[in-house]
Structure 1
């Protein structure tokens, strides 16, 4: 009948395995799972002790008593892991570290299971007594070590605990641990440590201690609701956030709806979700859009959806609806999480921001137009600052400023240059005979005639009155003479209309030229301004020499 007994044991093992799987991998917190594992370890000792005592004796008694001590071997590591999670130090427990922590307990359990050479438990053939060997004390030693470390952690946590509930649950675990330890010590003293107690006279104090500790801890945990902290926090968070939360299962049944959403839609948990009723109760403006939204989430369960809708209650509100799939550990969709977030204030803020941006854009355009006007005005002022108001050519100040740079560069690199100074002959007689307006017309007409024969790089400036100056860069004495001749001829043949009666006037000019053909030989001047003044003095002297010699002629001088 041995196979029937093993079949029964296999059924019990399968049922226990399924029980462990449901609680270990269900939707519980890690602390729940760790405590359930510890509770199962509590269960192993009394269960197999009972089974062993119901057996008639022999080999099977040895199996069951070994199974009981295997559970006792794991009690220490189970309590230590529970202590670590309870005190909020679960970050310490990683797979490799957990394996190292559990190694003494695993070795002890292996020693109990394999019982090498009867060093843990053996049967005396003559008397039939069950006696423990030296490995028994290894099990007891590692158990004492684990429980001592657990007790130290709990005592430290009680002293450092910041909140009263945390301190209470830690004290509960510490009292339970000390209770188990006390019953275990009493069991060894009362029943002795040299046999299994299967021969009679055994008082199950350790089993009673485990049961008492479990009852005490379960009562304290249920009363203090310590393990419900996460669920309470989740519920409170869901009910206090301003976003509506709706949880649907794979059959579109309402599993959860927070307080905010229930106020808006009057949804009830357990009802079949109906998008039409939701649209009616929430007074959604675009009902077709919300119906298409929920239809799409049913057809494409793996996808995420988002939609903005308008709700007309006391005042228009804008709500963003988001739908995301809820997946299990195998990434299979098992439901939907639908959120309703009121974005009215954000929408109004965006609209106000857009309006402000448009206003700023218009003002920026106006400012740009003003800047363009200012730029044009500045350019006009700059032009007026460097030009002569009557003739439109450069003024004397601009000419002197340009000559300081041009002469410096020319003298430094040894390039030739020339300066022409000309004066309108008998200009005073024109003013006296025809008036100053005619004189102004003559000045402007003369400048226009001179401009037409000048080169692009030449600078024409009014030096004062009817006297003008032309700066000729990169021009030798002979080249300057040719330019001066063109200027003289152009002015001489320029007939200007100066009146309504068809009066025309033509004038001549006298020209003085000063040239620097070899700037390197002239040397770099110490004072550029004084050097320029000297050039003008020479040009002016040449001009007056031309006037003295009969006007309408050119006098050319060379400084170097």
Structure 2
């Protein structure tokens, strides 16, 4: 009987390890793997390290081997708290969207504890063997950092799960989270008891075996109950299946030989078949011609199974429908073909809308072209109207109203930038006698000829306008008195030397020119309009002097 009692502490951790292993295998075999599964299995594996390594320590006499497994056990226990935290985040649906830096910071205490435990043979400040082996041991100051770190992980996980349980609506979700929370609480209680009996009061009560292992096992039992009673894992697969079956898109999963492995409910709307049968792509296609696009797609489908394909075909049934077919290969890690996924999407309504849209676009294009034509006509009319408001109908040069507005503005510019300018006033000599002798039509021709002669001597920046009757005015920017006199002589000479045809014979006309110049930097008096009126009055007096001097000459105002 005494022998049995001595063996019980040795085999206690082994029995608990076997229970954990059985629970691990059960959870692995009866459920499909998802992200939640992976998180659970990761920390379940960490839970199994502590009892299994402690069992090996108790059955092997080799102290180096004992230390190796003890080191592994402490490393596993270091990351167990981190694993609990990660699983709690996944369970409470806060895992996704977290930054990578968060995981690094969260894992830092576990990594540091692992380093402290691994380097223990160099400082023995973490733990020391007692009684000639590592089965019985005492703990140093660095162990308490390990303890506080693990406890911190478990407390954060408890708070996280507790908040989720409080905020969750009544139902399976609340029960699942509550059970998981009790699993963490149980582990905290048993780990505290282990610290109390085997660290704080050691060797008062001797070695109390399996306390932390019992807490790990009981917490794992809570999780397994949550997994199976409330479909913690299976609900994900059920939801995924419901989503796939509710899709309007038909979906087939076939193996590399074309045998249907699975299909959703919408798939039978396109092809009356079932799992286990061969998928007949040719039966879906309505070939329009031997070398048409459908035939090319079918050839690619049969010969190049590693290529993603897409085509739009017609399926003939009670009514013709347009179907978009998409074929995607499923490859393993070595790029070997495992099978293919084929999706069928009814695009008949979309095709009809596209055709209707094309018709509407054609109508809109036609209307747009008509609008553009109307806009061009309106633009031409506006240009003509604008031109009519600022030009003289007879001579096609600017009218007096435009000249007065533009020259008033040009005066301001010239004054601001200290630019000289000149104004020329031109009058056709004896124009009334020409009208009386040759008629008004010839008189009009004379005025047009005078304008052509004047324009031939002007720059593009000069402004020519009909001032009224047989008088014309020229604004000459950036020109002083000397330049204005030279220009006036050129204009006068050009008009004098041209011949004008008429029914009564050719005739020549002359003009009298009066001009005024404003020096650079000269100030203006009053408003630009008043200053312009003053300049025109001085120019008119110079023109009067030109007439008085016998006409056909240029006179500059002082």
TM-score range, shorter chain: 0.5 to 0.7
Corresponding residue to 2:557 among 545, 550, 559? 559
Alignment correspondent of 1:372: 376
SS of structure 2 residue aligned to 1:263: helix
In 1: Cα distance, 2:74 partner to 2:483 partner: 115
State which drifts further: 284-293 or 344-353.
284-293
Corresponding residue to 1:32 among 26, 29, 37? 37
CA gap 1:376/1:71 in 2 versus in 1, 3 angstroms: closer
The answer to whether the 8 Å contact 1:41/1:72 transfers is: no
Alignment correspondent of 2:312: 308
Structure 1: 5+ residue stretches without partners: 1-15, 124-129, 198-203, 431-437, 498-503, 547-552
CA gap 1:460/1:423 in 2 versus in 1, 3 angstroms: farther
Deviation at 1:320, TM superposition (A): 2.5
In 1: Cα distance, 2:409 partner to 2:142 partner: 104
The answer to whether the 8 Å contact 2:331/2:339 transfers is: yes
1:170 and 2:177 correspond: yes
CA displacement, residues 410-463 of structure 1 (integer Å, 9 cap, x when unaligned): 995266956344332435755xxxxxxx73322223234435644514577655
User: Where does 1:541-560 land on structure 2 (aligned, <5 Å)?
Assistant: 542-543=546-547, 554=552, 557-560=555-558
CA gap 1:122/1:331 in 2 versus in 1, 3 angstroms: farther
State which drifts further: 208-217 or 299-308.
208-217
Structure 2: 5+ residue stretches without partners: 1-20, 199-203, 477-481, 526-530
The answer to whether the 8 Å contact 1:306/1:320 transfers is: yes
User: Where does 1:457-496 land on structure 2 (aligned, <5 Å)?
Assistant: 457=457, 463-464=467-468, 467-469=470-472, 471=474, 480=488, 483-484=491-492, 487=495, 490=498, 494=500, 496=502
Number of equivalences: 496
Corresponding residue to 1:413 among 397, 415, 420? 420
1:358 and 2:356 correspond: no
Alignment correspondent of 1:328: 332
1:238 and 2:244 correspond: yes
In 2: Cα distance, 1:471 partner to 1:71 partner: 106
Deviation at 1:154, TM superposition (A): 3.4
In 2: Cα distance, 1:536 partner to 1:121 partner: 132
1:444 and 2:444 correspond: yes
In 2: Cα distance, 1:393 partner to 1:539 partner: 21
SS of structure 1 residue aligned to 2:456: coil
CA displacement, residues 89-109 of structure 1 (integer Å, 9 cap, x when unaligned): 656995785585277579879
Corresponding residue to 1:251 among 242, 257, 269? 257
Alignment correspondent of 2:87: 85
1:119 and 2:129 correspond: yes
SS of structure 1 residue aligned to 2:267: helix
SS of structure 2 residue aligned to 1:273: coil
SS of structure 2 residue aligned to 1:246: strand
The answer to whether the 8 Å contact 2:400/2:467 transfers is: yes
SS of structure 1 residue aligned to 2:233: coil
The answer to whether the 8 Å contact 2:154/2:188 transfers is: no
CA gap 1:48/1:558 in 2 versus in 1, 3 angstroms: closer
CA displacement, residues 137-181 of structure 1 (integer Å, 9 cap, x when unaligned): 999997998578537633651343243323322333344566678
In 2: Cα distance, 1:405 partner to 1:183 partner: 97
In 1: Cα distance, 2:306 partner to 2:89 partner: 39
Alignment correspondent of 2:229: 223
1:293 and 2:303 correspond: no
CA gap 1:254/1:470 in 2 versus in 1, 3 angstroms: same
Deviation at 1:47, TM superposition (A): 8.7
Alignment correspondent of 1:265: 271
Deviation at 1:239, TM superposition (A): 1.6
CA displacement, residues 120-147 of structure 1 (integer Å, 9 cap, x when unaligned): 6759xxxxxx983436999999799857
Alignment correspondent of 2:18: none
